[in-house]
């Protein structure tokens, strides 16, 4: 594990990738909470059976797997940028729709942003593993994943 911090290029790479992991995790888990029955926006948007709502919110991530396979044709870095920017745009549209009292439109944009951010997670695992030498690859991916999930 200490090999990550030995050289300056690996240290800078780790800091940048950790920042991307933390931002991605923050947005993903924020959307999960916002869409759940426990939060005020989720209650307004997802009224009804709690179990059906969770099934829909979970099933919405299935198209992401197929989309990520297609996105990999554009390269890892470009795929990561597309998914993160797509999530940001959809979240901004969802916030605008919530402010204009359009419940259905805000729900659609929140689910779309969840698709994008899940895609960002899928691409990020592959992207991170390709950024490190083979000797420390598993430790580096595990370290970045741990940092992003243990901070919350």
pLDDT digits (tens, 9 = 90+) for 94-127: 889 888 887 788 888 988 999 999 999 889 988 8
Phi/psi for 131 (5° steps) reads -90, -10
Cβ pair 128, 144 in contact under 8 A: yes
Q: For residue 46, what pLDDT is reported?
A: 62
Cβ pair 33, 42 in contact under 8 A: yes
Cβ pair 112, 90 in contact under 8 A: yes
Q: For residue 37, what pLDDT is reported?
A: 55
As a whole number, the mean pLDDT across the chain is 84
Q: For residue 48, what pLDDT is reported?
A: 64
How far apart CA 123 and CA 52 sit, in angstroms, is 28
Per-residue pLDDT of the chain (152 residues; tens, 9 = 90+): 777 778 888 889 889 999 999 999 999 888 887 777 555 544 555 666 677 777 877 888 888 888 888 888 888 889 999 999 999 999 999 889 888 887 788 888 988 999 999 999 889 988 888 888 888 888 888 888 888 887 65
């Amino acid at each position: 594990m200490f090999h990550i911090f030995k050289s300056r290029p690996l240290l800078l790479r780790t800091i940048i990738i950790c920042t991307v992991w933390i931002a991605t995790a923050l947005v993903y888990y924020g959307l999960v909470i916002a869409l759940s029955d426990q939060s005020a926006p989720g209650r307004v948007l997802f009224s009804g059976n709690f179990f059906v709502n969770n099934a829909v919110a979970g099933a919405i991530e299935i198209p992401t797997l197929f989309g990520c396979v297609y996105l990999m044709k554009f390269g890892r870095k470009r795929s990561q940028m597309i998914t993160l920017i797509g999530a940001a745009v959809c979240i901004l549209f969802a916030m605008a729709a919530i402010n204009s009292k359009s419940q259905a439109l805000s729900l659609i944009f929140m689910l779309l942003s969840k698709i994008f951010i899940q895609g960002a997670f899928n691409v990020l695992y592959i992207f991170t593993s390709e950024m490190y030498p083979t000797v420390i690859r598993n430790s580096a991916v595990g370290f970045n994943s741990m940092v992003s999930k243990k901070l919350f």
